Amino acid sequence: MPLPDYRGGSIVNLMASLVAGLGGGDTGYVPLAALEAEAVTRRRHAVLLVVDGLGHEYLTRSEPGAALRRGLRGRITSVFPSTTATAITTFLTAAAPQQHGLTGWFTYFRELGSVIAVLPFQDRHGGMGLDESGIDAARFFGHRSVFDRISRRCYTVTPQRLIDSAFNVAHSHGAIRRAYTTLPQFFDVIGRGLDEGGEPSFTYAYWPELDRLAHEHGVASRQVSMHLEELDAAFDYFIDVIRGHDAIVIVTGDHGFIDTSPDRVIELEAHPALSETLVMPLCGERRAAFCYVHPDKCMQFEDYVTTRLDREATLVKSAELLAQGYFGLGAPHPHLGDRIGHYALIMNENFAINDSVAGEHRHVQIGVHGGLSSEEMFVPLIVFAP
């Protein structure tokens, strides 16, 4: 299983190259070996385009995607868990999970005494957002945005439905926020930022549609293939349009995907002897679940997983993941230990694990991610400097 390469080959290091190249100084991680900071510095404009769910293995074996593959320099790793809430926070802060402390779609916050769906910024069971309860997301997360590090004019390009979300606003400080609703408008808004103000700029642009389709239909589906073809054509046109703008355009993903099926999903409800050992719902992801185990039932928990689920999952003590550098390098976030539970279930092959809580809308997903397979962990590094 490939681990995140925080020593020069991950999205954390890509952000180190960008921040250094844009005058933001040292992030605490070495720049990406495949992208020197100077390559960014000498361009008037820099664009980072993150395609949610675009894995390197999927792109390289796909029939569509020729325009994107023209600029392919290789593959880099995501972070762990290989998932949007964790990786997007890395793009927006230039910090690894070790430092930013967000460990999956569902993260336990001891300071609130509850499990939070990070991106919607609400309790796991749904309902009113935490911001509506008077909790300031920027102060709560306590992250310094990447845009506050950079000395250029900065833009974020985000879907209209997310532009004013508490998470997005909290992580966009120092940038001009721009919204879009369609694929043509997405590239049009990016291009507009290169034309206005007459100043050097940095644009972070986020496209989520491939991820949505892969969750719903599977990454191997016709729907995802057709969408990649549409995205590829729009990107090819965009690159042609911005020739002469002295821009470097970097495209990558936050994670890749692996498809599962109903017979490969472990429903916690079907394992009551396992469920009764837990003191709270599963956290993290379906492919990398953090388990909070009652101190008197650790042996029962370990015995059950190693004898009944040994084919489906690899059991690891969470403290070992931390010690072995799965989340990053250097001093950890003060609450990181609280947010990774006592044990982690790293799912094997294409298995996933799922549980539910009262009031929660149940989502059926074919495409899943968060684990350590090559399909999930490797994302492309695509660079155009027309």
- Architecture in CATH of 263-367: 2-Layer Sandwich (3.30)
Query: For the chain, where are the E strands, in sequence order?
Result: 45-51, 72-77, 106-109, 114-117, 122-123, 153-159, 176-180, 201-207, 247-253, 258-259, 265-267, 283-284, 288-291, 313-317, 343-347, 352-354, 367-368, 378-384
What are the structural domain ranges in the chain? 11-259+372-384, 263-367
Is residue 1 pLDDT above 80, yes or no? no
How sure is the predictor about 209, in pLDDT bands with cuts at 50, 70 and 90?
Answer: very high
pTM: 0.97
Integer-rounded Cα Rg, in Å, for the chain is 20
Ranges 64-78, 122-136, 220-234: which has the least confidence: 122-136
Q: Phi then psi for 173, rounded to 5 degrees?
A: -60, 135
Which one of 3.30.110.70, 1.10.1660.10, 3.40.720.10, 1.10.760.10 gives the CATH number of domain 11-259+372-384? 3.40.720.10
Instruction: Kindly state the tokens that stand for 52.
Output: 């949610």
How sure is the predictor about 58, in pLDDT bands with cuts at 50, 70 and 90?
Answer: very high
Q: What DSSP state is assigned to residue 333?
A: P
Residue 146: predicted pLDDT: 98
Task: Collapse the DSSP code of 174 into the 3-class scheme (helix H, G, I; strand E, B; otherwise coil) and give the result.
Answer: coil
Instruction: Kindly state the tokens that stand for 155.
Output: 């833009």
Is residue 127 pLDDT above 80, yes or no? no
Query: For 14-152, where are the E strands, in sequence order?
Result: 45-51, 72-77, 106-109, 114-117, 122-123
Q: What is the pLDDT of residues 290-346, one digit of tens each?
A: 999 999 999 999 999 999 999 999 999 999 999 999 999 999 999 999 999 999 999
Across 224-228, average pLDDT: 98
